[in-house]
Amino acid sequence: MGHSQADKAQTHERIVAIASRRLRERGLEGIGVADVMEEAGLTVGGFYKHFDSREALVVEALAASFGTWQAQIGAQATGGEKLTIEKLIGNYLSNDHRDNPGKGCAISALAADLARSSPTTRKQCTEQVQHNLDLVAGLLEIGDDASKRARAIFAFSVMVGAVSLARAVCDKALSDEILATAATRLKAMATEG
Amino acid sequence: MGHSQADKAQTHERIVAIASRRLRERGLEGIGVADVMEEAGLTVGGFYKHFDSREALVVEALAASFGTWQAQIGAQATGGEKLTIEKLIGNYLSNDHRDNPGKGCAISALAADLARSSPTTRKQCTEQVQHNLDLVAGLLEIGDDASKRARAIFAFSVMVGAVSLARAVCDKALSDEILATAATRLKAMATEG
DNA sequence: TGTACATCAGTGAACGCGCGTTCACTGATGTAC
DNA sequence: TGTACATCAGTGAACGCGCGTTCACTGATGTAC
C-alpha cells in the first residue's frame, strides 16, 4: 500500500469538512470541485481518488453538515448544563447563527435548494427534519406526545422561517428585529402549552 | 420602426412571465437564457434585444414574481369576500401553494438563494418582506401597532418556514402534517392577542 | 538490516459539454415621397 | 394609393469561458525477499 490509509482518510475528512461548510454558505450548486480541492491544499485531479463524482461529495458533505450540527447540539446537552428549549431557540435564532450559515443548521441554509434536489439528498433532508422534530419535542415539558409533536413542528417552522428571512433581507435592523421578535415569542410559547 | 412596439412589449412580458415562474420553480441559478426563450417560442439570439444580460432578466422576473403575488392577494381582497388573516394563512400553508412554487410566494421559494444573491435582488427581497409584514399586520385586529408588528413577523416566519420544510421533505405524510399543523396553530394564534 | 519492487495519493494538463454572449443576416412592418 | 427605403425583432451559428471529468505521470510509502 502506497501512502498510509490514515493519511488518506484524514485528507478525505478535510475535503468533506470544507465542502460541508461551503455547501451551507453557497448552496448545493455553489460548491466547485476545483475550489474545494484548492482550499484543502490539493489539486483537482486527486479529487477522484476520494469521490466518484461531485454529486457523491455533495451527499457526503450534506451528511456531514447534519452530523456536525447534531454533534454541536449534543455537546451542549452533555457539556455542563442541560440543553433546554429556550437555549436551543436562543441559539438557532441568534445573530451568530444567522451570520455563520457555514457552521449552522443545513436545513435553514439549504431549504430551497433541497426542495429542488435529487431524491438522495431529499431523503437525507427528510430524516434530518424528523430527527430535529423529535429533538425539539423531547425538550418540551408540558402536554401529551401529540401536543408536543405539533408544537415542535410549529417551533421548528418558526426557527427555519425566521433565520431564512433574517438572512435574505439586506437591512440589518429588520434582520435583527425578525430574529429577536421570533425568539421572544417562541420562547414564551414553548414554555406554555 | 420595424415590428410594432406593442408586439415587442408583449414578447417582453411573455419572457418575463416565463422566467418569473421558472425562477420560483428552479431558483435564481436554475434559469437559462436559451431555455426561457425556447419556452417563449423564440430562439436564443433575440434575447439581447430585450435584456442587457441574464442578470437583468433575473431582476425583472423577480420583480414580476413579487408583483403577481401581491396582485393575487389583492384580487382576493377586492373580489367578493374580504381577505382575512385566516384565509391568507390557509392559502399560504395549502398543499396547492406547496406544490406550485411557480405560482406562489417568491420569498419562500427563493429564501436561501436570495440570502446569497446580489445586492440588487436582496434589496428587492427586503422591500417585499417589509410589504408582506405590513400586509399581515394590517389583517390583525387585536392589539396595538407594536403587537401587530411582532405577531406579523412571527406569523410570516411560520409561513415561510413551514412551506420551506414541506417542500424540502420527500415524505408526503410528513409534508402534509407540517402544513396542517402550522396552519391550525397559526390561525388560532392570529385571532388571539 | 538492506535493497528492489509494487502500490497508489496526488499532480497538472487536456478534454468536452453547457451556457451566456456576440454577430452577420433575414424579412416583416412602418415611414417617406 | 402605390412604391422604394429604413428599421429592427427575431434567427441561428459561432465564440469563449467555467467547470466536471479523464489521464498519463510522479514520487513517497509500504511490502517482499
Give A181's pLDDT tier (boundaries 50, 70, 90).
very high
Tell me, what's the pLDDT at B98?
98
Non-local CB neighbours of B62 within 8 Å, separated by 6+ positions: B20, B23, B28, B106, B110, B121, B124, B125
Q: H helices within A54-144, ranges in order?
A: 54-78, 85-92, 95-99, 106-115, 119-139
- Detail the protein residues whose CB sits closer than 7 A to any atom belonging to strand D: A 1-4, 31-35, 44-45, 47-48, 53-55; B 1-3, 5, 7-8, 11, 37, 41-46, 49-50
CA closest to A25 among chain B residues? B116
- Residue range A175-192: mean pLDDT, rounded: 95
Mean of all residue pLDDT scores within chain A: 95
pLDDT more than 70, % of chain A = 97
Which protein residue has its CA closest to C1' of D30? A1
- Could you tell me the distance in Å between the CA of residue B64 and the C1' of nucleotide C17? 32
Q: Identify the residue with better confidence: A7 or B39.
A: B39
- Residue range B129-133: mean pLDDT, rounded: 98
All cell numbers assigned to A184? 421572544
Please check the confidence at residue A145 and state whether its pLDDT lies above 80.
yes
Looking at residue B48, its amino acid is: Y
Residues of B within 8 A of A101 (CB-CB) are: 115
For residue B46, give the DSSP letter. Answer: G
- Which of the nucleotides in strand D have any atom less than 7 Å away from a protein CB atom? 6-14, 19-24, 27-31
For residue B116, give the DSSP letter. Answer: T
pLDDT tens-place string over residues A65-74: 999 999 999 8
Nucleotide nearest to B45 (CA to C1'): D11
Q: Within 10 A of A72 (CB to CB), how many other CB atoms are there?
A: 14
pLDDT tens-place string over residues A2-49: 567 778 999 999 999 999 999 999 999 999 999 999 999 999 999 999
- Residue range A52-66: mean pLDDT, rounded: 98
Tell me, what's the pLDDT at B3?
67
Distance (Å, whole) CA B110 – CA B25: 9
Tell me, what's the pLDDT at B1?
44
